Structure 1
Amino acid sequence: MGALNPVFRNYCLSNWIRATSKEIRSAFCTGNVDGFTTSKVKIFDRDFKRIQRDRAAWLARPDDSFVNSVAENLLDRLEDCKKTFPTALCLGGSLKAIRRLLHGRGGIEKLIMMDTSLDMVRSCKDAEKDMPDQNVETSFVIGDEEFLPVKESSLDLVISCLGLHWTNDLPGAMIQCRMALKPDGLFLAAILGGETLKELRVACTLAQMEREGGISPRLSPLAQVRDAGNLLTRAGFTLPGVDVDEYTVKYENALQLIEHLRAMGETNALVQRNNILKKETALATAAIYQSMFGAEDGTVPATFQVIFMTGWKEHPSQQKAKRRGSATVSFQDIHNQFGSQHQ
């Protein structure tokens, strides 16, 4: 395939930006649930995502360095907590990585592992006998994050690693997580952010514009970093915390990246997706990816932006902000005392 005309490439990029912005805006169309503003739009085909999860149950590898790094980073947050979490729920996403890397963190005694996929639940159950923490009582449930089958105030910890970004109503799912927690219970989640697979988005859009004369949604709209704190607050969590990490994973080519996404269950599940990807468009995507982003060693990078969210269910013992007007020292006093030292 020849090089793209720069004018045509800029035209394609501007169309991609407009299309992507439209997808993201549609992801935050709002309604009202439990007193909180939440999404009412059906963006993802949850039944199709369940089928993808069935496939991922048998394709996923225990040596996936990206998944393991995210799970390890998420679980590290339990080491910063002085309290223990006897009863925990692990939701969808990278279930086996969380279970395998738990290593006694959080003082978890009972762990519920839940997924929409029967095959994923079976795979987790089969792997349980090889897990290092045999003293953790583990149970397995088939359930949906959008309709959490858990009693109110029954859990000490809810943890989700790379799963919640596939829910149609992310604020609503987080509200259900909060309701399932006991007072002073902890919510931990890692979701993919809006900068994820930015290289693939550009290459795929350019290939479609060149080969098909238009674009169709191939990659999912994802939450932006600036929205994460608002999501926690809207869901009613106290002491919200947000961290962001970017992971760059190298692949031999774009097709190997697609295979990795399939193994993670992270391929396209948009309701308005185009189920047919023409062979020439796929080959053009791989060629453009290599041309625009390829490294000197022949590999191509893929960016994964991961947003880590932490929130607590309200409890009287938690630290609270002072009420407005309760300060005993004014900014003018501080300036008078220290300002002259810098003049």
Structure 2
Amino acid sequence: MTDGLTLFDRAALARNRARAAETLAEADFLLAEAADGLASRLLPIARDFPLALDLGAHDGQLGRAALATGKIGTLISAEGCRPLLSRLSAPRLALDEEALPIRDESLDLVLSSLTLQWVNDLPGTLIQIRRALRPDGLFMAAIIGGESLKELREAFIAAETEILGGISPRVAPFVEIRDAGALLQRAGFALPVVDADTLTVRYGEPFALLRDLKHMGWSNALTDRARTPMRRDVLVRAMELYAERNADPDRRLRATFEFIYLLGWAPDESQQKPLMPGSARMRLADALGTKEHSAGERAGTREDPDRG
């Protein structure tokens, strides 16, 4: 997700998402969570947005939630996965999130849900989004944060180290909350704010988590991944370690998903003076006038209904 680093194999990611288009509805709980989170953060903002873009629309959950706020005139659903794009309501747009075909200063609002964490040059994409916004236009996004799937990452590392004496990248290194505000500032957004929340999902057995990830199109698409299937003994040992280390008293297994919510405005003379560099890592709740929190503190952890 940094300049000059091809972290993700975008062709492999596209194949994973195309295969998962038929099964996404079976594991869309993270999209629902992010859509609700973004819509609830959009609702208190005291202005309307005549033209908005849903960047990486998936199955349209975010678009429907955003339109329900009554703040959007026209919403364009943009999606790079053709099977998903064909199911979205018009107007819709096919695009690659790494090269946005959008005129400068043409949009009032850009929303994005659980898409931008798969972009190789995230600062570059954020700059393109900022340029696409009219002065005082708004960008809001939810991305998967660095705490996500930490249990699965640790189980794979331990199993491969124990059996093979080394490791292969299995779980993507997502953005850390401490870096998110700096990314917005670097891209030229005014008044950037960041908020984070954590969702704990529980499973009856670890293979159910792997099925959910596959159904979401989140199979391993790292450029440096091993190109051969994982050995069965390594996979079995990883799942054993996962169960040993992450079981609740009722034997159900925890899986962590961190959501980082980003907000930034396209600069405009009417805006208040920006904060000093490094001080923008505040909670989104601060900007909306709710309870104050420190920059690194999580908004809270809750449990999703049991899965698997």
TM norm structure 1: 0.76
**Structure 1 residue aligned with 2:299:** none
**Residues 81 and 117 from structure 1, CA distance in 2 versus in 1: closer, same or farther, beyond 3 angstroms?**
same
Question: Which of 319, 325, 331 lines up with 2:272 in the alignment?
Answer: 319
> Post-superposition shift, 1:295?
1.7
Aligned 1:66-145 pairs, distance under 5 A: 66-92=30-56, 94-105=58-69, 107-124=71-88, 128=89, 138-145=90-97
Aligned-partner Cα distance in 2 for 1:52–1:277: 17
Aligned-partner Cα distance in 2 for 1:289–1:93: 32
Aligned-partner Cα distance in 2 for 1:217–1:93: 28
Post-superposition CA distance 1:133-152 (Å, at most 9, x none)? xxxxx312111111001111
Aligned-partner Cα distance in 1 for 2:91–2:171: 34
Question: Does residue 6 of structure 2 align to residue 42 of structure 1?
Answer: yes
Q: Which has the higher contact order (CA 8 A, sep 6+)?
A: 2
Preserved CA contact (<8 Å) 1:56 1:120: no
Post-superposition CA distance 1:276-332 (Å, at most 9, x none)? 211221111111100111122221110011110000001122122599xxxxxxxxx
Aligned-partner Cα distance in 2 for 1:297–1:103: 40
**Structure 2 residue aligned with 1:24:** none
* Secondary structure at 2:248 match in 1: coil
Which amino acid in the other structure matches residue 231 of structure 1? L
Aligned-partner Cα distance in 1 for 2:26–2:131: 32
**Structure 1 residue aligned with 2:121:** 169
Question: Does residue 179 of structure 2 align to residue 227 of structure 1?
Answer: yes
> Post-superposition shift, 1:268?
1.6
**Structure 2 residue aligned with 1:202:** 154
Aligned-partner Cα distance in 2 for 1:307–1:98: 15
Query: Any gaps of 5 or more consecutive residues in structure 1?
Result: 1-26, 29-38, 129-137, 324-343
**Residues 216 and 105 from structure 1, CA distance in 2 versus in 1: closer, same or farther, beyond 3 angstroms?**
same
**Residues 100 and 46 from structure 1, CA distance in 2 versus in 1: closer, same or farther, beyond 3 angstroms?**
same
Post-superposition CA distance 1:225-280 (Å, at most 9, x none)? 11000000000000101001011011111111111112222222111111321122
Post-superposition CA distance 1:100-144 (Å, at most 9, x none)? 3235325222211112211121133xxx4xxxxxxxxx3121111
Aligned-partner Cα distance in 2 for 1:152–1:143: 16
Aligned-partner Cα distance in 1 for 2:249–2:215: 27
**Structure 2 residue aligned with 1:298:** 251
**Residues 274 and 63 from structure 1, CA distance in 2 versus in 1: closer, same or farther, beyond 3 angstroms?**
closer
**Structure 2 residue aligned with 1:339:** none
Post-superposition CA distance 1:190-217 (Å, at most 9, x none)? 1111111110011111111122221011
Aligned-partner Cα distance in 2 for 1:224–1:71: 20
Aligned-partner Cα distance in 1 for 2:170–2:156: 8
Question: Which of 180, 183, 189 lines up with 2:132 in the alignment?
Answer: 180
Which amino acid in the other structure matches residue 204 of structure 1? F
Which amino acid in the other structure matches residue 83 of structure 1? R
> Post-superposition shift, 1:168?
0.5
* Secondary structure at 2:184 match in 1: helix
What's the RMSD between the two structures over aligned residues? Answer: 1.8
Which amino acid in the other structure matches residue 214 of structure 1? G
* Secondary structure at 1:284 match in 2: helix
Runs of 4+ displaced beyond 6 Å:
none
Preserved CA contact (<8 Å) 1:66 1:249: no
Preserved CA contact (<8 Å) 1:62 1:97: no
Post-superposition CA distance 1:15-57 (Å, at most 9, x none)? xxxxxxxxxxxx54xxxxxxxxxx1111111111111111222
Query: Any gaps of 5 or more consecutive residues in structure 2?
Result: 277-308
Which amino acid in the other structure matches residue 135 of structure 2? P
Question: Which of 193, 202, 215 lines up with 1:250 in the alignment?
Answer: 202
Aligned-partner Cα distance in 1 for 2:274–2:142: 26
**Residues 212 and 225 from structure 1, CA distance in 2 versus in 1: closer, same or farther, beyond 3 angstroms?**
same
TM norm structure 2: 0.85
> Post-superposition shift, 1:73?
0.6
Aligned-partner Cα distance in 1 for 2:212–2:70: 30
Post-superposition CA distance 1:159-182 (Å, at most 9, x none)? 110000100000000000000011
Question: Which of 265, 283, 299 lines up with 2:217 in the alignment?
Answer: 265
Q: Which has the larger radius of gyration?
A: 1
Which amino acid in the other structure matches residue 259 of structure 1? R
**Residues 224 and 155 from structure 1, CA distance in 2 versus in 1: closer, same or farther, beyond 3 angstroms?**
same
**Structure 2 residue aligned with 1:60:** 24
